[in-house]
Amino acid sequence: MQADIKRASPAGMLLVTAALALLSMLAFMTLGARGSWAFILSFRGTKLAGMVLVAYAIAVSTILFQTISGNRILTPSIIGFDAMYALLQTVMIFFLGAAGATAVDPRFQFVIETAAMVGFSVLLFRALFSGGTRSLHLLMLVGIILGGLFRSLSSFLQRILDPNEFVVLQDRLFASFNTVNAGLLGISAIAVSAVTFVLWRLFPTFDVLSLGRESAIGLGIDHHRTVTILLVLIAVLVSVSTALVGPVTFFGLLVASLAWQITPTASHRFVLPIAVCLAIVTLVGGQVILERLLAFNTALSIIIEFVGGLVFIFLLVRGSAR
């Protein structure tokens, strides 16, 4: 197994995963189609576009977060992004009521949420991140504690919430790929393109950053500045994916771990696209199985989190947790 992986070429691996991703997208668009193609293509196309955006955002944000933290079992949710999203939703329903919250333009809501999450992360970095590896760890620890605080606050508010409104809230907090928020696709695509443009310019630094802070500085990288920019971009990507489908904790970990495992090189030129392709295969392919084989009897996120949890334990047991 090990030897086979080593002999496989990274470009070949990328081709294989890209082909699989295309295949699952094709399957999603055409399988079991009955009736007017115009309707099917636009109906499924919206859903597909949402899933591809989410797959891209989660894969890229998780890989980059792991690169700057030098740790392969972390995901951006560790800084409390998921918990913050849940708190924002809870507060909104609590103060505006279910009807009021539903009436707010989702695009406006998206901008507010993204601004809050980016603002929160920038504040956290400004206060705590002085550049060293140790301060990155401190940042994460504080993030974990704040995440706990957000979670307790939301569960407190949820307890005193009207039961009817609580049901509306719960629906929003369960990640669902089935009800991709179509109204947000345009603005999400713009946000993701802007992030991608900046990432493209920073691309050569990713491999160097994975050598660790000291080596990166020794090779001439402005570590503090680069890491701060990357953390902000990660915050935007996480906001996009949570706004579109809701919080997904393990999905990123699953995809990133698989990508590091099967890519025969540590170069981001291959790991990043392979992770994105794997994310598309998992999301879109999983959705096909859910719709065609399981007849919508469960939610995709439940399957993904179940498998993600197993992979997580597998990684810990294998000792690749570093």
Partner 1 sequence: MIEIRDVTKSYGSNAVVDRVSMTLPAGGLTSIIGPNGAGKSTLLSIVSRLMPMDEGQVVIDGLDVSRTAGDVLARRLSIMRQDNHITARLSVRDLVAFGRYPYSKGRLTAVDVEHIERSIAYVGLQAFEHRFLDELSGGQRQRAFIAMVLCQDTDYMLFDEPLNNLDMKHAVETMKLLRRLADDFAKTVVVVLHDINFASAYSDRIVAMRGGKLAFEGAPKDMIEPSRLQAIFDVDCRVHAVGEKRLVNYFE
Count of alpha carbons within 13 Å of 244, Cβ hemisphere only? 32
Binding residue (CB under 8 A) for partner 1 from 64, 74, 221, 230: 221
- What's the CA gap between 27 and 47, in Å, rounded? 13
Binding residue (CB under 8 A) for partner 1 from 77, 121, 210, 242: 210
Contacts with 222 (C-beta within 8 Å, 6 or more apart), sequence order = none
Q: Does 321 bind partner 1 (CB under 8 A)?
A: no
Nearer to partner 1, 109 or 263 (CB): 263
Nearer to partner 1, 141 or 266 (CB): 266
Query: Which tokens belong to 150?
Result: 């957000």
Nearer to partner 1, 6 or 34 (CB): 6
Contacts with 86 (C-beta within 8 Å, 6 or more apart), sequence order = 150, 151, 154, 173, 247
Nearer to partner 1, 7 or 159 (CB): 7
- What's the CA gap between 49 and 1, in Å, rounded? 35
- Part of the chain binding partner 1 (CB under 8 A), chosen from 35-43, 84-92, 216-224, 306-314: 216-224
Tokens 């096909």 — which residue?
A: 288
Question: Distance from CA of residue 87 to its chain's centroid?
Answer: 18
Q: Does 164 bind partner 1 (CB under 8 A)?
A: no
- Part of the chain binding partner 1 (CB under 8 A), chosen from 68-76, 93-101, 194-202, 302-310: 68-76
Q: Please report, as residue ranges, which positions from 167 to 206 form the binding site for partner 1 (by CB under 8 A).
A: 203-204
Contact 238, 117 (CB under 8 A): yes
At 176, is the secondary structure helix, strand, or coil?
coil
Q: How far is the CB of 130 from partner 1 (least distance, A)?
A: 9
Binding residue (CB under 8 A) for partner 1 from 266, 310, 313, 316: 266
How many other CB atoms are there within 10 angstroms of residue 133's CB atom? 13
Tokens 């990508």 — which residue?
A: 259
Query: Which tokens belong to 164?
Result: 């009817």
Q: How far is the CB of 312 from partner 1 (least distance, A)?
A: 17
Q: How far is the CB of 77 from partner 1 (least distance, A)?
A: 19
Nearer to partner 1, 205 or 287 (CB): 205
Cα separation values, 9 from 61, 253, 273, Å:
25, 24, 14
Q: Of all residues in the chain, what percent are helix, strand and coil, respectively (each to 5)?
A: 80, 0, 20
Q: Does 107 bind partner 1 (CB under 8 A)?
A: no
Binding residue (CB under 8 A) for partner 1 from 49, 189, 211, 303: 211
Q: Does 219 bind partner 1 (CB under 8 A)?
A: yes
In Å, the largest CA–CA distance within the chain is 62
Contact 60, 199 (CB under 8 A): yes
Nearer to partner 1, 158 or 265 (CB): 265
Q: How far is the CB of 306 from partner 1 (least distance, A)?
A: 27
Q: Please report, as residue ranges, which positions from 108 to 137 form the binding site for partner 1 (by CB under 8 A).
A: 131
* Footprint on this chain of partner 1 (rule: CB under 8 A): 70-72, 131, 203-204, 207-208, 210-215, 217-222, 265-267, 322
